[in-house]
């Protein structure tokens, strides 16, 4: 019998198989088998359902690398450059900070010196990024310490009494593609909307309806909408959360002034690019927080405030969840399935009860420090991982990348 075990984060719901054992002998990297007692596919470490001998039998000969993201594999990697986009695939030209790709001849990420597989021009082209030597890179421990400080600084988050959830039915990851509504009632039973009068909440909410949700339709910001972006950034920078983030990045020599930091945030989050056929039809903020519709599916949409408001209007129908990572207090994380005005979202992770500036800060931190990679953080002692992707088909400024997406992917025990 399978049971969903509550976890700390959103994406993984471990499956317990009572009284059954099985081996990965002759099964390494086979496809997921829902009838098997345990799994041996490449994603089983993320699902938490590997056989006990998986690591010994199936990973002994593999090089250590970042685990494969579980969520939104098609949509989240669409912005990643294919190897044929590079004039010289054996060079780091235009590839600094990219995610590991086994198909590339050589690599340009922070760990390539460790594995000895960097391109020859890694030092000369990527040294300015601040990680040409592993000793110079921002460490996992530094990230976890900073994320803990950001967590403690989030005084605008919801309190326990502010939100009542009705998470209802939990399903296994293998059932997310069924598109079956297993939850007859809304996800949110109650939200204290006094939260929304706080400056950052109010400024954030004003941004949510500034986009056309369907890709392929160009976005054109009005003067008022541009002013609303500036208002959100200004209010966010007043908070202890964003001051903590800037202080860390300034200390790491990523930004020399707060204005430089704010300008970069505006570009990476609100800059527009072409996700569909139309020019400038998408952007990081729209994708991550507001959500988009592409090829008949919901993409992005990782924000609890947007979910609540759309559910309240009758546009979101909550279907089920695969993991309810409840902590002692907000925020916690939920991995859920839903439809948005008839379009389905197979798996979406979202913080519940966090302030807008908290999510904005964590995603920005990971995008700046670990772009295109899994970013290991810690919140209230709980490990948490965030995946970001860069938009590599266009750039701004001095070749800087826009945010393609950011979302919670896992925790480790």
Residue pair 94/399 in contact (Cβ under 8 Å)? The answer is yes
Alpha-carbon span 235 to 233, nearest angstrom: 6
Q: Is 247 helix (H, G, I), strand (E, B) or coil?
A: helix
Q: Please give the DSSP secondary-structure letter assigned to residue 375.
A: E
| Closest CA relative to residue 233, chosen from 262, 195, 196 | 262
Catalytic residue among 47, 107, 294, 302: 302
CA distances for 219 relative to 167, 210, 286, 310, angstroms: 35, 9, 10, 21
Residue pair 107/118 in contact (Cβ under 8 Å)? The answer is yes
Q: Where are the alpha helices (DSSP H) in 252-394?
A: 258-270, 284-285, 304-312, 356-369
Catalytic residue among 47, 157, 287, 373: 287
**Is 302 one of the catalytic residues?**
yes
Q: Which two structure tokens, joined as six digits, stand for 386? A: 């965030």
CA distances for 222 relative to 62, 213, 270, angstroms: 51, 17, 13
**Is 140 one of the catalytic residues?**
no
Q: Which two structure tokens, joined as six digits, stand for 163? A: 């939100």
Alpha-carbon span 14 to 413, nearest angstrom: 11
CA distances for 215 relative to 211, 277, 297, 337, angstroms: 10, 8, 11, 21
| Type and span of the H or E element at 73 | helix 73-76
CB atoms within 10 A of CB 269: 25
**Is 297 one of the catalytic residues?**
no
Alpha-carbon span 348 to 299, nearest angstrom: 9
Within 13 Å of residue 310, how many CA atoms lie on the same side as its CB?
22
Catalytic residue among 157, 321, 345, 382: 345
Residue pair 150/243 in contact (Cβ under 8 Å)? The answer is no
* Antiparallel, parallel or unpaired: β 332-340 and 343-352: antiparallel
Residues involved in catalysis? 287, 302, 345
């Amino acid at each position: 019998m399978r049971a969903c075990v509550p976890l700390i984060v959103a994406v993984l719901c471990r499956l317990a198989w009572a009284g059954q054992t099985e081996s990965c002998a002759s099964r390494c990297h086979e496809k997921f088998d829902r009838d098997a007692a345990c799994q041996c596919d490449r994603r089983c470490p993320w699902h938490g359902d590997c056989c006990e001998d998986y690591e010994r039998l199936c990973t002994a000969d593999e090089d250590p690398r970042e685990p494969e993201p579980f969520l939104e594999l098609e949509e989240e990697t669409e912005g990643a450059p294919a190897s044929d986009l590079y004039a010289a695939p054996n060079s780091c030209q235009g590839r600094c900070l990219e995610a590991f790709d086994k198909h590339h001849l050589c690599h340009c990420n922070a760990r390539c010196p460790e594995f000895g597989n960097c391109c020859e021009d890694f030092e000369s082209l990527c040294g300015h990024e601040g990680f040409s030597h592993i000793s110079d890179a921002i460490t996992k421990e530094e990230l976890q310490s900073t994320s803990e400080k950001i967590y403690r600084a989030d005084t605008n988050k919801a309190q326990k009494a502010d939100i009542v959830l009705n998470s209802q039915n939990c399903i296994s990851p293998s059932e997310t593609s069924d598109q079956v509504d297993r939850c007859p009632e809304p996800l949110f039973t109650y939200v204290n909307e006094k939260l929304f009068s706080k400056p950052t909440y109010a400024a954030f909410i004003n941004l949510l309806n500034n986009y056309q949700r369907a890709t392929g339709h160009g976005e054109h910001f009005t003067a008022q909408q541009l002013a609303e972006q500036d208002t959100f950034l200004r209010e966010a920078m007043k908070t202890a959360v964003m001051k903590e983030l800037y202080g860390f990045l300034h200390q790491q020599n990523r930004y020399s002034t707060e204005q430089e930091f704010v300008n970069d945030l505006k570009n990476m989050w609100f800059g527009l690019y072409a996700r569909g056929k139309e020019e400038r039809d998408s952007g990081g903020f729209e994708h991550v927080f507001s959500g988009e519709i592409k090829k008949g599916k919901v993409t992005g949409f990782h924000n609890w405030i947007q979910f609540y408001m759309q559910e309240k209007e009758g546009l979101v129908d909550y279907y089920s969840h695969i993991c309810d990572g409840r902590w002692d207090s907000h925020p916690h994380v939920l991995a859920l399935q839903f439809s948005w005005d008839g379009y389905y979202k197979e798996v979406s992770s979202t913080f519940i009860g966090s302030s807008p500036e908290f999510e904005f800060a964590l995603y920005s931190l990971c995008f700046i420090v670990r772009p295109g990679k899994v970013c290991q953080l810690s919140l209230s002692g709980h490990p948490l991982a965030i995946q970001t992707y860069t938009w590599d088909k266009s750039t701004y400024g001095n070749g800087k990348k826009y945010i393609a997406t950011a979302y919670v992917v896992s925790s480790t025990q």
